Structure 1
């Protein structure tokens, strides 16, 4: 047992983060893009990676300048290479931010239920975690959020929009209120932003006015690039420079950089599936509500729904329902929220299978 080893006391008894990886006909538990990459994108990525193979004896560009330039171009909002940093998934980006602005003797605060990796990243970097709560409808009241910030005075604040696992997008007033109250870094996790409904503003619009605001994104979801492992953030150039103090040398391989740049160049083809996924998300929401279930509003590629109970209104154990769905060949996610389960919006056929199994 690892607890017999001289590991840190705060890690004893813990288990690694990870969703079940089970071979089933319908896998809708990790918010992946269900659509395979189009042939033209596969060909473009293949050529880009092939071009790098001859020089694998050399280290990659440790600053990933070309990739960051392409990411800035994709984000727009007047951003340049100086505003963007990239790493192996948005989890590594957020870990680097905590290594830089958190750490022993410092505090990070988030509003739950939210992405379960945030407190784990805080623990891994020796940062004390404070868990504030969202409202019953999974929103965040701006005044209450500012009050929590003033009470705990965190060094890093985590906001998630659209929020995982609820799918809730934040009102810009919430971000503004938190920025006004926080003395430290305010990190807005926008991993699912490409799936937001029209008119939903991004925190990127606030970057020019707030030096301590950081917006993190990923190519894992809308781009269907989960296996490529590419996350990034946009922030003031000084924040980008500060993160260089903790980044590992040559952390992004030449192959990762080449594949990500090729994918960005093919973004029209890759993002063509976003509208189709949003249609299935909205279909899941409306169908489950028609069946009498409580469902959270979603601006992401997943749906959080409450498990129905008996005539007395008692909730069923979500673990029981999760297992019954798995028995029917449909893998969804138990996020540990009592009485609720989460399902990824996939292809029409996958949605059919999910709704049929739920029935």
Structure 2
């Protein structure tokens, strides 16, 4: 017997996580480079101070005020509006996803997505003892609807993950594709459209929130980590049919959102216009970065997110390491040969461009 007596399917595995290194330019975890203003920070501090006076009591386990505020925020992205009963929040969209699999996955059930995609999805499935099936995207990272529908019909999944924009490629989905797959899954399962990067989508790209009245098996997830510049807050949420929210309430841990988390999130939402004010700047920097990379001869996936996937490199690790030695940290993720860069400030992106030119020229010189 080997100690500790961990589940056999977990033995020898390493925990998920991007490198956390102290570098001048960190562009590897898709964080928003612009923090809150002093006024926003002061409002958060006041809210937390008030919450601290009641820490001897449990928080509102239904986080009613927060669900009301999130519903009001989401209603801006759909003409149909969102009701608080359609909203559920948890500690990051990671916990939201795990709760969805605890409620709708599990032993004897199947979850499905299409690679390349977010590497945590199969881990959520593993942790909830849900069978995992993975289809493939096209070479341009778009989704082949006929192939996707055929896989859904063959595997009969109970949970389908459709990130839009996709991570790590940045690719957004046509709402018609989402609707078709919702119909293919039917009420046997749920279709989860992960919009963690939804606020960064290009003009004319609609949110899947608009489809909620048509498909009761649709779940749309969001996070405050990216556009709201609140990665340290750990607050994710979803919008769905109220019956789906009620199902999640069965599996959630008691008082899963602390009073401090709820107070901080509510304060941040009061400053939504300010916190989201930099989104347009980041979109512009993203588009400029994509254009520059293509001008240098690299392939770049179309992106509706706050990052760009680019390549291809014969030895991407050598490029990653070379960038790190220049003080620029990007992410070695996605299909072989590709790297992903988060969009930072103009100064950070200049440092990235200069470092990439230097590193690739050095590698080319060494390989002659």
Under TM normalisation by the shorter chain, which class is it? over 0.9
Matched length: 351
The corresponding residue for 1:49 is 48
SS of residue matched to 1:217: strand
TM-score, structure 2 as length reference: 0.94
Assess if the C-alpha contact under 8 Å between 1:142 and 1:173 holds in 2: no
Cα deviation 1:74-132 (Å, max 9, x = unaligned): 00042111000000000000100000000011100001100001111110110010010
1:80 and 1:192 map into 2 onto residues whose CA distance is: 22
RMSD in angstroms over aligned alpha carbons?
1.1
- 1:122 pairs, out of 86, 111, 125, with 125
Q: Compute the displacement of 1:173 (Å).
A: 1.7
**Cα pair distance change 1:106/1:3, threshold 3 Å:** farther
User: 1:337 Cα deviation (Å)?
Assistant: 2.1
1:263 corresponds to: 268
Which residue number in structure 2 is paired with residue 333 of structure 1? 331
Match of 1:281 among 264, 280, 286: 286
Identify unmatched segments of 5+ residues in structure 2: 358-368
Secondary structure in 2 aligned to 1:160? coil
Q: Please report how far the alpha carbon of residue 215 of structure 1 lies from its aligned counterpart in structure 2 after TM superposition.
A: 0.5
Structure 2 CA distance for aligned equivalents of residues 191 and 83 of structure 1:
18
Query: Shift of residue 3 of structure 1?
Result: 6.0
Q: Is the 8 A contact 2:116 2:334 kept in 1?
A: no
Q: 2:195 aligned with 1:190, yes or no?
A: yes
Report Cα offsets for 1:48-86 as digits up to 9, x if no partner: 111111110000000000000000000004211100000
5+ residue gaps, structure 1, are: 308-314
Matched position secondary structure for 1:269: helix
1:228-307 maps to which residues of 2 (within 5 A)?
228-307=233-312
Mapping 1:150-165, distance limit 5 Å: 150-165=153-168
Contact 1:19 1:30 in 2 (8 A): yes
Distance 1:192 1:119 in 2: 20
Q: Is the 8 A contact 2:192 2:218 kept in 1?
A: yes
Shift of the alpha carbon at 1:30? 0.2
- Distance apart, 1:35 and its partner CA: 0.7
- After TM superposition, the structure 1 = structure 2 runs for residues 82-93 of structure 1, keeping only pairs within 5 Å, are 82-93=85-96
Conserved? CA contact 1:32–1:226, under 8 Å: yes
CA shift at 1:157, angstroms? 0.4
Residue 336 of structure 1 and its aligned partner are, at CA, apart by 4.6
Q: How far apart are the structure 2 equivalents of 1:3 and 1:168?
A: 44
Aligned-residue offset at 1:187: 0.5
The answer on 1:358 being equivalent to 2:363 is: no
Distance 2:147 2:222 in 1: 26
